[in-house]
Homo-oligomer: A and B are copies of this chain.
């Protein structure tokens, strides 16, 4: 059998591949991207399910429409209208099987083989994987502490007219935890508005802010080809696989709808109705505060431990929300080599490599803090610190 070029060139996920070892009982794992189970409102969901079965009956179990459950789309529209003052209608929204599916479909709808996609460097590996299925040319633009490097963004757009879309995660980015500043967003907007490209703002973590003020979107509400992606995975449950895509570009949405028909007909309707009814009947703000309180404590524990146990030359980001931190080791060090040593010491993380489209043996790595207690976090960082000191000492010799 010969397989398609696109699948041969699509990397399988490093994270999914190490899931088995990383999730073994005796390993302290900072590798995954799992929300803490505290974020699943199980008792409320169970009540909602039982009520929904009484109320909706067979409708929960039958085939449904491709665009998704109307009241859920109305809820999402209201949320954007209330929180960001941008005018979104239910007709501007498509419910997807997790926002991962939206990534794959947008790429299918826009990219002919070889056409360009601007991605953050480093960028979300699941997005790189989804886009790879359409055989694009990747144009990585570096992230700084402030957000996307605007000069390089401009240069890249000017030099490559076949670029179809820009993929960003402006809030608590995966893998770095970086949030684009207000000024950076404005500067990006001023550039992008001059080009015929789609701007994707993927925002699964935006609600998970424990410090600072909510920032406006870059393009939503003012760029014709703006797309926002959202998800209930980090604030209600990822197990239901409910995400969504928002755009006021009707033609684009229409094409995505056709791709959705072809891909899985529609998203699980039982889960859509249950998520909607849960949101309609419960206090989401209080629920989210419970999650962010926990994550803030975990993030603090990790930062304090790194201050204490890591060599002072090691740098790391200090996010105001979200689920990840990004560590930069001394130049010349390989995070992948460190990964193997760390696994021997029963600590897992994700080396930076899979977050780049064309770099290997990088000196960066991603840490997740949402799934371990502060005590376990300290122990894991302590072990990593010990290895880092050993490695650094060896280098000096």
Instruction: Name A's B-contacting residues (CB within 8 A).
Output: 1-7, 10-13, 16, 19, 32-35, 37, 40, 42, 45-46, 49-50, 53, 57-58, 60-66, 97-98, 100-101, 104, 108-113, 126, 129-130, 132-134, 164, 196, 198, 225, 233, 237-241, 249, 251-252, 254-255, 257-259, 261-271
Q: Are A42 and B13 in contact (CB under 8 A)?
A: no
Known contacts A64-B239, A268-B271; A46/B53 CB under 8 A: yes
- Complex: chain B residue closest to A97, CB-CB: B264
**Residues of B with C-beta under 8 A to A196:** 1
CA gap between A241 and B240 in the complex, in Å: 11
Q: Are A240 and B61 in contact (CB under 8 A)?
A: yes
CA gap between A61 and B168 in the complex, in Å: 27
CA gap between A61 and B48 in the complex, in Å: 14
Known contacts A19-B65, A45-B61, A110-B4; A270/B12 CB under 8 A: no
Known contacts A10-B258, A16-B261, A264-B97; A239/B62 CB under 8 A: yes
CA gap between A108 and B10 in the complex, in Å: 11
- A sample of 19 inter-chain contacts (CB < 8 A) reads A1-B196, A10-B259, A16-B65, A16-B261, A34-B62, A35-B63, A37-B61, A42-B61, A46-B49, A60-B239, A61-B240, A97-B268, A100-B264, A101-B264, A104-B262, A113-B113, A133-B262, A239-B268, A263-B263
Q: Are A98 and B264 in contact (CB under 8 A)?
A: yes
Q: Are A7 and B271 in contact (CB under 8 A)?
A: no
CA gap between A12 and B34 in the complex, in Å: 36
Q: Are A262 and B10 in contact (CB under 8 A)?
A: yes
Known contacts A1-B249, A1-B252, A101-B263; A42/B34 CB under 8 A: no
- Complex: chain B residue closest to A113, CB-CB: B113
Q: Are A258 and B110 in contact (CB under 8 A)?
A: no
- Complex: chain B residue closest to A251, CB-CB: B1
Determine which residue in A60, A61, A66, A132 has the highest number of CB atoms from chain B within 10 A of its CB, and name it: A61
Closest 9 CB pairs of A and B: A37-B58, A61-B237, A40-B61, A61-B239, A129-B262, A97-B264, A239-B269, A12-B258, A101-B264
Q: Are A7 and B108 in contact (CB under 8 A)?
A: yes
**Residues of B with C-beta under 8 A to A16:** 65-66, 261
Q: Are B241 and A267 in contact (CB under 8 A)?
A: yes
**Residues of B with C-beta under 8 A to A130:** 262-263
**Residues of B with C-beta under 8 A to A269:** 239
CA gap between A4 and B13 in the complex, in Å: 26
Determine which of B1, B46, B198, B251 lies in contact with A50 in the assembled complex, contact meaning CB atoms within 8 Å. B46
**Residues of B with C-beta under 8 A to A61:** 37, 40, 42, 45, 237-240
With both chains docked as a complex, state the minimum distance between the C-beta of A71 and any C-beta of chain B, in angstroms: 16
CA gap between A241 and B61 in the complex, in Å: 9
6 further A-B contacts with Cβ under 8 Å, apart from A4-B110, A7-B109, A129-B262, are A6-B112, A12-B257, A63-B239, A97-B268, A133-B259, A241-B266
CA gap between A306 and B134 in the complex, in Å: 48
Known contacts A58-B42, A263-B100; A270/B4 CB under 8 A: no
With both chains docked as a complex, state the minimum distance between the C-beta of A44 and any C-beta of chain B, in angstroms: 12
Known contacts A239-B268, A270-B239, A271-B271; A4/B263 CB under 8 A: no
**Residues of B with C-beta under 8 A to A4:** 108-112, 134
With both chains docked as a complex, state the minimum distance between the C-beta of A232 and any C-beta of chain B, in angstroms: 11
With both chains docked as a complex, state the minimum distance between the C-beta of A236 and any C-beta of chain B, in angstroms: 8
CA gap between A5 and B109 in the complex, in Å: 8
**Residues of B with C-beta under 8 A to A112:** 4-6
